[in-house]
Amino acid sequence: MYPWERVEDHDSTLRLIHEAVVRKHTVAITTPGGLTIRDSITSAFCKVIQKVEKVPSSPKTFKKNVKFKNQLLPIAGFDVVFMRDNPPLDSIMLNFLDSVRHDAFFINDIQGLREANNKLYTATFHDPNNEIIPATHVSKNKEYLKKVIMESPNERMIMKPLNGFGGSGVIVVEKNATHNISSLLDFYIDGQKGMGTTGSNYVILQEFVEGAEEGDIRVIMLNGEAVGCFRRRPPSGDHRSNISAGGTYEKHTLTKQEKKICAKIGKRLVQDGLYLVGLDIINGRLIEVNVCSPGGITAINRLYRTKLQTKILDFAEGVVRQKESAIERKQALRKTIEEA
């Protein structure tokens, strides 16, 4: 995950950690930079949460009083590993974890994260008639992207970096602002001059979906099914509805079209090992699939007086029980064979 020092009181990650500690699990956290290999064993320099007699019921109080012990631990020794780092993910980190992806249950799976940790995942879904996904273009060719904007039937399009998160870098571009478009593409694609990033960044252009100014719908998907949702509204003077960008949230009931999107994409998510995912939907169109550290648990808990983290931990524990049961069954059957 990202460093503990950057964890906010409202973070979904904190809710997951707190719930695991409440359940008396041994819980440790580490960052991508903490990974190492020792004696051919993939390990990590971890901050192990010290167990106490009574865990505070408030995640905020828990965070304030938690104590850690630093220790090097083998990743394969854990039952479950939650991946909660922000995109873009470090490819070397994923390579480290490839060696243990079958030893622990990863939420989300390493290969699934490799395929879906940026916005290309959504763009490549098969939706030829753009029934659930807005027309999307990804390129670093400036002339092509300018042509896409000028030939669009709409006056506005959404421009965003391929690897952004939390609404960072998402802007609305207008067809009549030709000079601005050129300079924006220069900035997004070339990056900062002299920093070795010239021409290295891909840009996404997406059809502007009417109603975007009213915000979006965040849906939390667990094992391919919607388990919670809410509407996010942007602050005054901003088109971004992300809570991290100052957006507000309110209750929402999924529409028939939104349920259709969840059902259609849910099967693909499970197939790719993406068990805990956040969907962003605007006016019946899927805008983004968030697989690295999807947020929204705290908002859903407050709006609906629930604890979504309990469903998530129930799911993780259930998978571990099934794996252990399968191992025990295999051992019993093997013993029968050996004694024949």
Q: Which tokens sit at 212?
A: 């975007």
pLDDT at 317: 98
Spans of all domains in the chain:
4-116, 135-208, 213-306
User: What percentage of residues in the chain have a pLDDT greater than 90?
Assistant: 61
pLDDT score of 193: 45
> Rounded mean pLDDT of 136-159?
86
Average pLDDT (123-143) is 81
Q: For residues 146 and 55, which has the higher predicted lDDT (pLDDT)?
A: 55
- Cα(269)–Cα(66) distance, integer angstroms: 34
Task: Decide if 226 contacts 220 (C-beta within 8 A).
Answer: yes
Those residues with Cβ within 8 angstroms of residue 189's Cβ, 6 or more apart along the chain or in another chain:
140, 142, 199, 200, 201, 202, 203
Mean pLDDT over 58-75 rounds to 97
Mean pLDDT confidence for 169-182: 79
Give 301's contacts (C-beta < 8 A, 6+ positions apart): 15, 307, 308, 309
Query: Tell me, what's the pLDDT at 127?
Result: 72
- List the Cα angle 142/143/146 in 5-degree steps: 85
Length of the chain: 340
Give the separation between CA 230 and CA 14, rounded to whole angstroms.
Answer: 19
The model's pLDDT over 233-254, given as tens digits with 9 standing for 90+, comes to 887 655 555 555 567 899 999 9
pLDDT, tens only, 199-243: 578 888 888 888 878 889 999 999 999 999 999 988 765 555 555
Q: What was the pLDDT predicted at 198?
A: 45
- Residue 197 — pLDDT band, cuts 50, 70, 90? very low
What's the mean per-residue pLDDT of the chain? 88
pLDDT of 86 reads 84
**Structure confidence at residue 138 (pLDDT):** 87
**194 pLDDT tier (thresholds 50, 70, 90):** very low
pLDDT digit string (tens) for 14-54?
A: 999 999 999 999 999 999 999 999 889 999 999 999 999 99
One-letter identity of residue 201: N
CA–CA distance, 226 with 204 (Å, rounded to integer): 27
Residue 91 has pLDDT above 90, yes or no: no
pLDDT greater than 80 at residue 295: yes
**Model confidence band, residue 175 (pLDDT cutoffs 50, 70, 90):** confident
Rounded Cα–Cα distance for residues 122 and 82 (Å): 22
- % of the chain beyond a pLDDT of 70: 91
CB proximity list for 22: less than 8 A, separation 6 or greater: 55
User: What values do phi and psi take at 33, rounded to 5?
Assistant: -70, -10
Owner of token pair 């997004």: 188
Task: For the domain covering 4-116, report its CATH number.
Answer: 3.40.50.20
- Does the domain formed by 135-208 have CATH 1.20.1730.10? no
Angstrom distance (rounded) from CA 120 to CA 129: 18
pLDDT number for residue 48: 98
pLDDT (0 to 100) of residue 265 = 93
Check whether 111 has a pLDDT greater than 90.
yes
| Domain 213-306 coded CATH 2.40.110.10 | no
| Cβ count within 10 A of residue 86 | 16
Indicate if the pLDDT at residue 319 is higher than 80.
yes
pLDDT at 196: 39
If 0-12 CB within 10 Å is exposed, 13-18 middle and 19+ buried, where does residue 85 land? Answer: middle
User: Nearest to residue 152, comparing CAs of 131, 167, 173?
Assistant: 173
The predicted model scores a pTM of 0.85
